[in-house]
């Protein structure tokens, strides 16, 4: 590992942190340390880092804002790669939007609206990065990434740089090919349509007002914990089962939105996993429905 660190530092490929606590890199504020956190400074550096890790047979885990991730209390062995400031950008070219993996998905939706482009309004409440949104095919309000993505630039686990079009991404509900074929998004190009700025702003304001009324936005959460089962909503099932307010240690099912688990201050990953398991078991017993986690659980157990 020391040789890898030395090469990254010698080539000025980015920041390297040893034993970095990942709780400060996730919106749940939960997670043990990474053996090594690497924050590449540019697209070229990121590609070089992944190639270097592949050459030395070192496993790695991608991390964006950590808004849809539960890191175990023991942390992550190997390397965690987090795109840095050099990949936090957005450029507009007609109805095309080019954005780096580290750019805020919410901020991108706001910029698109101000540019008079419609199609990204749904992203106004998704607190992740562009890279994470593409990886998860993030969506809300009846739309998702698959409807607007033109292409994504990706570095595969062997260091190969590829560009996948929408069809090659294997999109389905909260799923992309990257959940099966390891790779890290470098950038994405979205194809939007010209729209009325006032109408776009009104739609986004309406979505924001609804979120403020129905979601615990001031608390540490990961967003939705479970995927919606076909023809139903996870939140409706959990609320109908009377599980709002159920606690395990410092983790609690939100009284405001039943598909959110809140870190009340000192929650551990095990607290959250226990609460998730209880919820799944109860919903299965009462309704015969298997709740599938939307959140990614990573790290040493």
Where in the sequence numbering do the catalytic residues fall? 174, 224, 294
Burial class (CB in 10 A: 0-12, 13-18, 19+), 54: middle
Q: How many CB atoms within 10 Å of residue 84? A: 20
Q: Could you identify the residue written with the tokens 């950038």?
A: 187
Distance CA 152, CA 150 (A): 7
Q: How many CB atoms within 10 Å of residue 9? A: 12
Distance CA 78, CA 53 (A): 10
Classify each residue of 25-50 as buried b or exposed e, where b means 16 or more C-beta atoms within 10 Å of its C-beta.
bbbbbbbbbbbbbbbbbbbebbbbbb
Q: Rounded to the nearest 10 degrees, what angle do helices 197-214 and 105-114 cross at?
A: 150
Q: How far apart are the first and last CA of the chain?
A: 22
Helix ranges (H only) for 149-220 are 197-214
């Amino acid at each position: 590992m020391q040789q890898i660190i030395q090469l990254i530092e010698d080539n000025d490929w980015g920041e390297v942190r040893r034993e970095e606590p990942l709780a400060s890199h996730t919106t749940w504020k939960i997670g043990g340390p990474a053996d090594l956190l690497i924050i590449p400074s540019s697209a070229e550096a990121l590609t070089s880092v992944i190639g270097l890790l592949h050459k030395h047979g070192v496993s790695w885990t991608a991390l964006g804002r950590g808004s849809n991730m539960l890191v175990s209390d023991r942390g992550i062995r190997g390397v965690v790669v987090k795109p840095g400031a050099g990949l936090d950008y957005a450029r507009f070219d007609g109805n095309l939007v080019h954005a780096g993996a580290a750019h805020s998905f919410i901020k991108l939706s706001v910029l698109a609206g101000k540019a008079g482009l419609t199609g990204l309004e749904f992203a106004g409440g998704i607190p992740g990065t562009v890279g994470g949104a593409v990886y998860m095919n993030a969506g809300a309000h009846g739309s998702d990434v698959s409807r607007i993505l033109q292409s994504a630039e990706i570095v595969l686990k062997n260091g190969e740089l590829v560009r996948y079009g929408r069809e090659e991404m294997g999109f389905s509900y909260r799923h992309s090919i990257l959940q099966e074929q390891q790779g890290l998004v470098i950038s994405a190009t979205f194809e939007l349509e010209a729209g009325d700025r006032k109408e776009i702003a009104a739609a986004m304001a309406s979505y924001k007002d609804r979120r403020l009324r129905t979601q615990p936005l001031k608390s540490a959460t990961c967003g939705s914990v479970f995927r919606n089962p076909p023809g139903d909503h996870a939140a409706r099932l959990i609320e109908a089962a009377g599980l709002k307010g159920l606690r395990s240690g410092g983790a609690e099912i939100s009284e405001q939105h039943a598909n959110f688990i809140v870190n009340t201050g000192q929650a551990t990953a095990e607290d959250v996993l226990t609460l998730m398991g209880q919820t799944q078991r109860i919903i299965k017993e009462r309704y015969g429905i298997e709740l599938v986690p939307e959140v990614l659980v990573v790290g040493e157990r």
